[in-house]
Structure 1
Amino acid sequence: MRLQSLLALAAASALLLPLGAHAGKLPPDYQSTCVAQAQKQNPKLTMAMADEHCDCAGKVLEQKLSDKEIKDLDTLQDGIDAAVMERAQKEIAAACPPKK
């Protein structure tokens, strides 16, 4: 009986591996770059508001995008994949709504 439980746990863990492998890692300068860009786009945005939004957006990007997709969003050399950018924007808009 114990062997069956162990096998069931092992099978469930194996199925979850692709989900864990999907998560990506942001570049080290993400937060400062994001805050600067947010304040440049909207001068009325306070430093605290921009920092909070970028923190939320960073968490969403790390959870929803792979390393390759995050790197593509950060690379201007070969252009940005429009589908990845659109998906990232939708995920961030859903998880990090603007404060009123």
Structure 2
Amino acid sequence: MEDTTQQIETAIRNIAESWGYTISDLYSSKKSNELVFLRLAIVDVLRRNGYTFREIGWMINRDRTAAQRNKERADDLVATGDILFLKVRKMVEHHLSFLKQEEVHI
């Protein structure tokens, strides 16, 4: 699990940097659309890969409740077919694609 956690942290850092942000920007309370969508997509992809809200909250510097709210918002964006969010999520899925080969716990 430790190696996977390190891979996830590295992937999250790479995701932020590929959009021109630092990891601190991603973890901050800044509310630009891009940063919000990046956070939501990360939560969505991690949750769909079996991680608990507590684990996800820890990985994105938030608490479990915030991670749950982020997942609900991500679900709403998917349901409405928000094109920008779907593009962001696809990019996040690409960066975290190594999770699909891992044995993920619940």
Fold in common (TM above 0.5): no
| Structure-2-length-normalised TM-score | 0.30
Larger radius of gyration between Structure 1 and Structure 2: 1
